[in-house]
Each structure stands twice: as structure tokens, then as C-alpha cells.
Amino acid sequence: MQHIAAGFISLPINLPGTAFNRAIRSAKQVKKEIEEIVRQRRIDLDQHAADQDLLSKLLMGTYSDGQQIKDTDIANELNALFIAAYDNVFITLCSIIMYLSEYPQVYDAVLKEQMEIADSKAQGELLYLEDIQKMKYLWSVACEVLRLEPPNPGTFREAISDFVYEGYLIPKGMKLYWSVFSTHKNPDYFPDPEKFDPSRFEGGGPAPYSYVPFGGGPRMCPGREYARLTMLVFLHNLVTRFKWDKVFPDEKMVMTPFPLPTKGLPVRLYPHHHHHCEPDE
């Protein structure tokens, strides 16, 4: 999946060894495996009722002309979903876990907020939307991590008409690449931009369109709320159960071209209910 994602922002040069070539070969391999899953699920649906998940709903769907959706098109949809719904969330969670291990005072503030929520719940009671809405500081931490380590550093667009930008003529049809760092690291919008400071997102937050890890306007990522919900629920359960430190204290996230931990981010976990326990790796 990482090869496929890297291909999105690579030069379209399909030669062996290039990122674009690796992305094409990886996409074909993943699509083949997904198509096999789709074919088997279609057989299962024909023979008996199967789990009513997204795949089942896609298999029962039709095109606008009423024809059954082809397996290959379903595989394409699932392929895109896996990249957007898994890779980006996984990368961001790695970054958040790393920052929380490096800033113990931020971790303590997150823990305090999340324990207040946990203590308000009955034994075994699940989180509800109103609980998620109380996770304001944790979301500010996540937003600051997304500012510094966005899982998607930018994307391509195509000019639909001629226009002039800062004295440069951009002709219709030209491919443009916009980078989140052009504003995320701009001191006009984020003073001392390299500093990790979740308080930037308190109150009114940053200026419109200066903070764009999910894009902006009508093309904003439709999975934004899904990603927010997934990350907050995971982090709530992690933080209320464990404190941790990095096995490799100097490990960092590196752009390849997406941020990834250099050593896979192994951590030692310390359960809260054991005050003098051996760490779990």
C-alpha cells in the first residue's frame, strides 16, 4: 500500500525502479488479491446470507443503468478505500504516539482529560458521540501533529482554465502540485512553526485555509470525520490503559515520501494499574 500511495505524488515515468513503476506493479498485485476476495464474497452471497458490510453492499449495488457493478470496479473502490482509510490513519497514529512519548507534559494533560471521560462511564460502557466531543485537548494534539507530520504532504490538481498567479501564467491543462507545508510551516500563520504547540488549535484556531491536512473547500477529504473518530477512540483506549516510551529514543519520522518511523516505532508499554511493573514491548 505504501508503494501505491507514493505513486500518487511521483513523476509519471513508468520505468523499472521508479516510484511510479513500483506503484503500478503494487496496485495490480493488490487489485488481483481484492478481486479474488470479491469473487468469493459474491459466491457466498449467492449461496447464503453473508456479513452485511461494505463489500456486501457494493456487491448488491448497480450502475445508473441498473446493471450489476463489475468485480473489477468494486476492487478499485476498495483499493482506494484501503489507502485512504488505513494508511493515513496508521501514519498519523504513529506520529501522535511518538510525540506523546517525547512530550510527557502533553501526555499527562491528555491522560487527565481522557480519565475524566473514562471515569464518567459505567463499567463496560462504550464511548458515545458526546464523549468524543469532550476530547478537545486530545484533538488539539492530533491537529498539531497533523500540521507538523501530515500523512499526505500534498496532491496534484489540473488547471481548468488559464489564470495568472503572482505574475505567472498558468495555462489550462497544466498539472499543479499544492503542498500543505506552504502554509503549515509559514510563520505568518503559525508563529515558531517548528515548535510543537497544541494550544494553536484552542479557541478560534488557525486562519481559514492555512491548516489543510484534509484539504479544503468542496474537495475536502470526505473521510475527515471517520479519521477523527477512529483516532480519538483508539487513543482514548491506549492512553487510559498505558504509558509508554520508545525503544529507540532518537527514532524520528522521515518522509519517504510519506512520514514513517525509521525503525517501525517499537515501544515499551507500562500499564497504569501496575505501579512497579516490567515494561511490555
For the annotated binding site for heme, the residues are: 221
Q: How far apart are CA 184 and CA 150, in angstroms?
A: 9
Residue 103, class by beta-carbon neighbours within 10 Å (0-12 exposed, 13-18 middle, 19+ buried)?
middle
105 with 20: CB under 8 angstroms?
no
Contacts of range 63-68, beta carbons closer than 8 Å, 24 or more positions apart: none
Query: Which residues sit in the known binding site?
Result: 221
> In 3-state terms, what secondary structure has residue 154?
strand
Kindly write down the DSSP assignment for every residue of 170-223, as one continuous string.
E-TT-EEEEETHHHHT-TTTSSSTTS--GGGGSTT-SPTTT--BTB-GGGS-TT
* C-alpha cell at position 83: 489507502
